A = this chain, B = another copy of it.
Amino acid sequence: MHAARALPAYLVQRFHGWKATSYAENHAWYRRLASEGQHPRAMVISCCDSRVHVTSIFGADTGEFFIHRNVANLVPPYEPDGDHHGTSAALEFAVTSLKVAHVIVMGHSGCGGVKGCLEMCSGRAPELEEKSSFVGRWMDILRPGYERIKERPDADQARALEKEAVLVSLENLMSFPFVRQAVESEDLTLHGLWHEIGAGALECYDPKKGAFVTV
């Protein structure tokens, strides 16, 4: 016996609205997507945050982006230890099976996961240090980033750490043999973005400048 319930009525209603409009108008396209399978050009790794939907920002329709979303858009290091690694599995599927041409990591302003990491690393959130804290243990991935920004003025740390979440992920991406190989053979490019929700701004990491620059 599962604890599952019926879908809330407001979602049932909206689904029927979608089916009678967007789906009906694009019936042919959905049927082809179903019969032919997906051929996305890019994989996007972004945050679960409800305020940041990458399909909106880039006007992407169904079929364009293979999207993995986790807390703080993090990629853990390569660890082939036989355990469940959801992010690594998504990455492996995108790069080796779908052969995406781009992996885009997108961070954002006001990230709750990054804020938790900052509090944990600066000793203000002992509950996140508990072994049983999934958020704390997940945000451990970002500790190397904290080391690089901890001397900054307090007011700058959150934003700097949000950008470090992108940079640490880019570094960890290259620790996966299949990613490194695809990058080196020029079958794959990596991209790091940071999005400011309130201003609607977008910055892209420029490795030559060693900084994020406005798009």
Bound: A59/B199 CA distance, A:
23
Does A153 sit at the interface, judged by CB under 8 A? no
A27 and B189 contacting across the interface, CB-CB below 8 Å: yes
The number of times this chain is found in the oligomer is: 4
B55 and A55 contacting across the interface, CB-CB below 8 Å: yes
A74: B residues at CB distance < 8 A: 86
Does A204 sit at the interface, judged by CB under 8 A? yes
Q: A3-B170, A38-B112 are in contact. List 4 more A-B contacts (CB 8 A).
A: A4-B205, A23-B200, A70-B89, A89-B134
12 contacts between A and B (CB under 8 A): A3-B174, A6-B206, A11-B58, A14-B14, A14-B59, A18-B58, A36-B39, A50-B62, A50-B66, A80-B131, A82-B137, A86-B86
A residues with CB within 8 A of B: 1-43, 48-53, 55-71, 74, 76, 80-94, 97-99, 101-102, 104, 109-110, 112-113, 131-135, 137-141, 167, 170-171, 173-174, 182-183, 186-193, 196-200, 202, 204-207, 215
